[in-house]
Homo-oligomer: A and B are copies of this chain.
Amino acid sequence: MEEQIDSVGKAFVDHYYHLFDTDRPALSSLYQPTSMLTFEGQKIQGVDDITSKLNQLPFDRCRHVISTIDSQPASVTGGIVVFVSGSIQLPGENHPLQFSQMFHLSPTLQGNLFVLNDMFRLNY
């Protein structure tokens, strides 16, 4: 069970940042109308507004490098919390930016996981 949680968390993280770096609009598939994103303190709710925010970030391309992934079951109902640290390389910047991000993945009625909670912070 514990290994399964780690595998699901890692698979999600790999998928999420791969989409972010190569096909950012496709991230919309991971959110639902009830999803919440807090991005550097800014609160955004719902798949449409979250997708808009992510697509309007002031850089076209970036590359995430993941340092750590921690995952735990969030409840008996099949949710998972995933805690990520890593860095983002932005175009034209010499040094990558360190970040931390947490996701609370929750099952849909169909049993697929979606991002219910998403909180992102750069680390200064």
Contact = CB atoms under 8 A, between A and B. Distances in A.
A100 to B, nearest CB: 4
Nearest to A68: B121
Given A83-B119, A85-B121, A98-B123, A74 B38 contact: no
Interface of A: 2, 36, 38, 41, 43, 67-68, 70, 72-75, 79, 81, 83, 85, 98, 100, 102, 104, 106, 116-117, 119, 121, 123-124
Provide the main secondary structure of the chain A interface: strand
Contacts of A74: 74, 104, 116-117
A38 B121 contact: no
Q: Name the residue among A2, A81, A123 with the largest chain B CB count within 10 angstroms.
A: A81
